[in-house]
Every structure is written in structure tokens, then in C-alpha cells.
């Protein structure tokens, strides 16, 4: 029985309904799998049916083809270089009450802290001596850190380390605030959208937060000129294949420079304490899909991925990721910035963390890139100053 090469899910439906013998079925299955992956690469898009197939399949051959295609795509653009970004978690105060987050304002068990400007600069000094070319200042939405304070910190880092990139991850602000940070010297901004489905967003956040406003912030960041990153949790409560499909389509529309995805991990002091964590396997599949759909995007192998599996970050890299974010925060505060349970690397000094990652990354055939990561590619997006 001959089945024509019908793109995507139609081919799978035809295959499943066929009455071919085992040998012919195996040959046809291989062709259809290849056709599906090739179609995603060619169109830089995916249908809902294809997404469902790739997220639910137990076919190891198809999954290995997906992984290899993503890994090869990343290597064609970035080689074997993995970019390090020095993470400074400078405050765990937050005015928001997101249902999944361990530093939500309602968590009375959280031990709060704020780093001083001098402490933040000391983290940057240590990171610069270790060769880091990017500093990522991340914190809760802390009213103490006014625009004036943020701009003062950013401008001081820019003066002290003019060769380094400054990335902020401070949550939702006004366009005017974003502009002030940019003018002070910030280059990049990370703001995970969490989900591109309005109903799903409402189930993860209190009523005062809206998906519409979150997306508005992301678009304003791009308008200002930031290299912008978005992202979502894999396996968050109430997530479906349909909500993930909307996430992918939002990423295709926004065209961010970076996409941060990692598994949902519950925190014991949140309303989602008893929810099941996101799976390693699904996260890896989505990393590979995002790499194929947007080949030039920067994809972190997140700390959350390393938290749920001892080789989680390595496996993320082998699925198409090319960024890792070692922690430059003082060891004394790392356990206090606990977005989820059992976070790794809370007791390592910056140098220890970097050396550990270097050995592990070299162990899988890759190498550390510590600079800014400035490259130019013949791509439709502005990749002059990559994350």
C-alpha cells in the first residue's frame, strides 16, 4: 500500500488508518517522521497536530531525529560555544502574588533580602575577573528599587565594565521606566510571558496581573531597542498542548532574541505546592522545537532543568540550548532566592560554579564562551549584539 507524503498530521492519520504489513509500516513510518521534521525546519512553524504528536509520541527514533536536527542547527550557527551569563539575584522582595512563585508577597516564610549597590558591584567585579561578559540583574518587583536606584546601579556597572553587556530581569514596568534603564546603559531585558493563553494566565496569577499588560511590556521593550527575552514554564498547572501551541505562535510573532523555558517546579509555600512538576522529557522536546522554529534564538539550559535531573543542563545543550547562567550572587543569599524547591548551586562560590560548569560542558564536547557573545549573521533579525 502506498501512502503519499502528506505534510504533518494528515500523513500520520493516513498511516494509522492503513492496513499495510509490518515491514512496509516500518518503512513508511521512517519516511513520515523525516517528512514531519523537515517540514518544521522548512516552514519554521508547526501545526497543532504535529505539536501534539511530538509531545506525546514514545517513538525514540522520531525523538532522536528531532534532537539531532536541533543540535545540528545550533552548531551550524553557534558552533560548539555555550554562552555564560552571570546571574545576580539582588532582591527577593516582590509586590506580586503569583501563585507559582516562592518569593510571592504572601509567603511569610521567605527570608527577605536586598543587596546594596556595593554588593552588586562586588558581584560584577568577581564575575569580570572570571571572564564573564554579561551580567544579569534579576529580582522580584521590589518597590524599594526605584527607577533612580536602578539607573544608578546600571550606570555604575556601565562605567566600571564598558565591555560587558547588562541584562535586566525586573518584571513589569512602564515604558518610561524601561527607557530610563536603557538610557542608563542596559542592553537586554528578560521578561518571561509564562503563557500566551489568557485563561491560563489568569489561573497562574492574581486578578491585578494580565496577559495583555505582560505582552504590552514585551513589545515596548523591543520598540525601545532592548534585546528582549521571553519564555514560559513547561508543565505549569492547567497547561495543555493548546496553550503550548499559543506560546510557540507568540514566540514566532514577537521574534525575541532569547527564549527561556524550564520545567515548572512547585514551591512548598505556594498554592501549587502539591502540583506535579514539569517533565524533563517534555522540556527537552520543546527546546528542540524552538531551536528548529527560530534557529538564531538564544536558548538557556536553565537551573530548573538541572534541578530536576543531575544532567539536566547537559541534556538541554544536547537538545539545542546554548546558554547557561551561573550564579554570581553572594552565597549568603542564594538559598533565600528560592523560586521553587530544591534549587541547585546555592552553596557554590562563583568560581566553583563556573569551573564545575566548564568541566561538565567540555565533557559533552562543547566549550565555554565567556564574552558578550557579539556576532553578526545574515539573519532577518538584529543579532549584532546577542544575549
In the predicted model, what is the mean pLDDT of residues 338-349? 83
Nearest to 286 by CA among 327, 234, 342, 341: 234
List phi, psi (to 5°) of 211. -65, -35
> What DSSP string runs through 313-368?
HHHHHTTT--EE--B-S-HHHHTT--SSTT-S-SS--HHHHHHHHHHHHHTTT-EE
Is 80 exceeded by the pLDDT of residue 144? yes
Please state whether beta strands 188-190 and 165-169 pair in parallel, antiparallel, or not at all (unpaired).
parallel
Paired residues of 261 in beta bridges: 232
Can you read off the three cell numbers belonging to residue 235? 508543565
What is the model's pLDDT at position 8?
44
The domain at 79-369 falls in which architecture?
Answer: Alpha-Beta Barrel (3.20)
Residue corresponding to grid cell 561578559: 133
3-state secondary structure of 83: strand
Q: Which helix (H) or strand (E) holds 50?
A: helix 48-56
Please tell me the distance from the alpha carbon of residue 258 to that of residue 227, in angstroms, as a whole number. Answer: 8
Please tell me the distance from the alpha carbon of residue 308 to that of residue 302, in angstroms, as a whole number. Answer: 10
Please tell me the distance from the alpha carbon of residue 327 to that of residue 331, in angstroms, as a whole number. Answer: 9
- Computed on alpha carbons and rounded to an integer, the radius of gyration of the chain in Å comes to 21
Can you read off the three cell numbers belonging to residue 60? 525514540
What is the model's pLDDT at position 344?
82
Can you read off the three cell numbers belonging to residue 79? 558552533
What is the model's pLDDT at position 279?
97
* Domain ranges for the chain: 79-369
pLDDT-above-90 percentage for the chain: 81
Can you read off the three cell numbers belonging to residue 120? 552588586
Is 80 exceeded by the pLDDT of residue 203? yes
From residue 266, give the alpha-carbon distance in Å to each of 89, 200, 271, 278, 307.
20, 17, 9, 9, 12
Can you read off the three cell numbers belonging to residue 338? 528560592
In the predicted model, what is the mean pLDDT of residues 287-298? 98
Give the pLDDT band (50/70/90) at residue 12.
very low
From residue 134, give the alpha-carbon distance in Å to each of 84, 214, 218, 288, 387.
8, 25, 21, 25, 8
pLDDT tens readout for residues 39-58: 999 999 999 999 999 999 99
3-state secondary structure of 261: strand
Contact 312, 324 (CB under 8 A): no
Give the pLDDT band (50/70/90) at residue 269.
very high
3-state secondary structure of 100: coil
Residue corresponding to grid cell 527570608: 111
Nearest to 170 by CA among 251, 121, 226: 226
Global confidence as pTM? 0.89
Alpha carbons within 13 A on the beta-carbon side of 383: 18
pLDDT-above-70 percentage for the chain: 87
Contact 366, 80 (CB under 8 A): yes
Q: Which helix (H) or strand (E) holds 64?
A: helix 60-78
What is the model's pLDDT at position 353?
85
Give the pLDDT band (50/70/90) at residue 18.
low
DSSP conformational letter for 240: -
Residue corresponding to grid cell 498542548: 241
Contact 185, 152 (CB under 8 A): no
Is 90 exceeded by the pLDDT of residue 382? no
* Mean pLDDT, the chain, integer: 89
What is the model's pLDDT at position 32?
52
Can you read off the three cell numbers belonging to residue 263? 520545567
What is the model's pLDDT at position 293?
98
C-alpha torsion 86→166→233→337, nearest 10 = 60
Nearest to 38 by CA among 49, 29, 46: 46
Give the pLDDT band (50/70/90) at residue 341.
confident
Please tell me the distance from the alpha carbon of residue 40 to that of residue 47, in angstroms, as a whole number. Answer: 9
Please tell me the distance from the alpha carbon of residue 241 to that of residue 196, in angstroms, as a whole number. Answer: 12
Amino acid at each position: 500500500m502506498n501512502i503519499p507524503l502528506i505534510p504533518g498530521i494528515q500523513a500520520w492519520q493516513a498511516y494509522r488508518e492503513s492496513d499495510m504489513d509490518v515491514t512496509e509500516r516500518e518503512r513508511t513510518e521512517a519516511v513520515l517522521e523525516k517528512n514531519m521534521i523537515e517540514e518544521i525546519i522548512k516552514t519554521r512553524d508547526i501545526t497543532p497536530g504535529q505539536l501534539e504528536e511530538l509531545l506525546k509520541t514514545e517513538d525514540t527514533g522520531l525523538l532522536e531525529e528531532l534532537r539531532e536536527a536541533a543540535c545540528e542547527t545550533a552548531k551550524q550557527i553557534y558552533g560548539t560555544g555555550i554562552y555564560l551569563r552571570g546571574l545576580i539575584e539582588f532582591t527577593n522582595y516582590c509586590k506580586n502574588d503569583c501563585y507559582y512563585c516562592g518569593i510571592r508577597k504572601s509567603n511569610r516564610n521567605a527570608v527577605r533580602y536586598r543587596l546594596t549597590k556595593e554588593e552588586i558591584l562586588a558581584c560584577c567585579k568577581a564575575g569580570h575577573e572570571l571572564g564573564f561578559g554579561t551580567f544579569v540583574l534579576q529580582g522580584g518587583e521590589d518597590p524599594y528599587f526605584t527607577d533612580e536606584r536602578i539607573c544608578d546601579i546600571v550606570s555604575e556597572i556601565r562605567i566600571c565594565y564598558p565591555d560587558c553587556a547588562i541584562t535586566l530581569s525586573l518584571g513589569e514596568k512602564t515604558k518610561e521606566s524601561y527607557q530610563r534603564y536603557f538610557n542608563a546603559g542596559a542592553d537586554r531585558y528578560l521578561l518571561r510571558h509564562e503563557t500566551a493563553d489568557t485563561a491560563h494566565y489568569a489561573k497562574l496569577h492574581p486578578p491585578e496581573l494580565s496577559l495583555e499588560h505582560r505582552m504590552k511590556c514585551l513589545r515596548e521593550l523591543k520598540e525601545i531597542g532592548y534585546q528582549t527575552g521571553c519564555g514560559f514554564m513547561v508543565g505549569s498547572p492547567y497547561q495543555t498542548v493548546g496553550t503550548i501551541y499559543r506560546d510557540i505562535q507568540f514566540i514566532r510573532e514577537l521574534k525575541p532574541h532569547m527564549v527561556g523555558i524550564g520545567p515548572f517546579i512547585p514551591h512548598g509555600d505556594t498554592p501549587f505546592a502539591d502540583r506535579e512538576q514539569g517533565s524533563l522529557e517534555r522540556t527537552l522536546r520543546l527546546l528542540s522545537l524552538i531551536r528548529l522554529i527560530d534557529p538564531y534564538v538564544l536558548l538557556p539550559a536553565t537551573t530548573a532543568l538541572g534541578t530536576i535531573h543531575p544532567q539536566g543542563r547537559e541534556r538541554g545543550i544536547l537538545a539545542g540550548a546554548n546558554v547557561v547562567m551561573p550564579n554570581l550572587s553572594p552565597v549568603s543569599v542564594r538559598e533565600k532566592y528560592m523560586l521553587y524547591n530544591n534549587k541547585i548551586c546555592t552553596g557554590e562560590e562563583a568560581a566553583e560554579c563556573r569551573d564545575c560548569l566548564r568541566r561538565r560542558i567540555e565533557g559533552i564536547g562543547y566549550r565555554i564562551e565567556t564574552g558578550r557573545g557579539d556576532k553578526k549573521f545574515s539573519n532577518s533579525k538584529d543579532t549584532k549584539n546577542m544575549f
